Amino acid sequence: MICQECNQRPATLHFTNYSNGEKTELHLCEICAQEKGELFMMNNSPVFSINNLLAGLLNMEPAFTEQKKEAFDAEQVAKCPQCSMTFPQFVKVGRFGCATCYDAFREQLTPIVRRLHSGNSMHNGKIPKRIGSDLHLRKTIDQLKQNLKNLISAEEFEKAAETRDQIRELERKLSAGQEGGE
């Protein structure tokens, strides 16, 4: 897809706006997006910016408006021990100062991640096909081992023996697959 602004370069930023049942799309290249300063007009709709998007996800005011100082008491504001960035600074900038910030702001980030991932706080991702079968076997083995523990504690030893045999068979398949792949 070509940039709608310059009509020369490939579009790498794609924005979709749904307003009154109408879908409006804007496709820009990185250069045109930088020239516009990340602010775009979308068919007479309000100005859209990446900072406004982030501020909306954080349920805070947009980054380009001035924050009220009394809203953040100095003792209540989370601060990164490594780079000294505060959470309001993160909201304004839109990115962390260092890797330690993820741990420092964990409590504030969890609800945001859950909102972005439809209630999940962990991202599972996709499994590459070349290693997917091994991971699937390992996961099945782990589930069977947990089931085995439950069966033993419930004193269902016949079912536990069957589960043990299933685990051994899957472990043989797993080790045979690893030896053959090397």
pLDDT of residue 38: 46
Three-state secondary structure of 40-64 = ECCCCCCCEEHHHHHHHHCCCCCCC
Contact present, 91 and 109 (Cβ < 8 Å):
no
pLDDT of residue 163: 95
pLDDT of residue 72: 47
pLDDT of residue 77: 73
Sequential pLDDT tens for the chain (182 residues): 898 889 999 988 877 777 777 888 888 888 887 776 544 444 344 445 555 555 555 554 444 444 444 444 545 677 889 898 888 888 777 788 888 888 888 888 888 777 776 777 666 666 666 666 677 888 899 999 999 999 999 999 999 999 999 999 999 988 887 665 54
What does pTM read for this prediction? 0.33
Three-state secondary structure of 86-102 = EHHHHHHHCCCCCCCHH
Count Cβ atoms below 10 Å from residue 181 Cβ, excluding itself. Answer: 9
pLDDT of residue 41: 42
pLDDT of residue 133: 67
Q: At what angle are helices 50-57 and 106-116 packed, to 10 degrees?
A: 100
pLDDT of residue 113: 76
CA–CA gap between residue 124 and residue 30 (Å, rounded): 29
pLDDT of residue 64: 42
Chain-centre distance of CA 37, in angstroms?
25
| Residue 14, H or E segment | strand 13-19
* Vertex 84 angle, CA 82 and 87, to 5°: 115
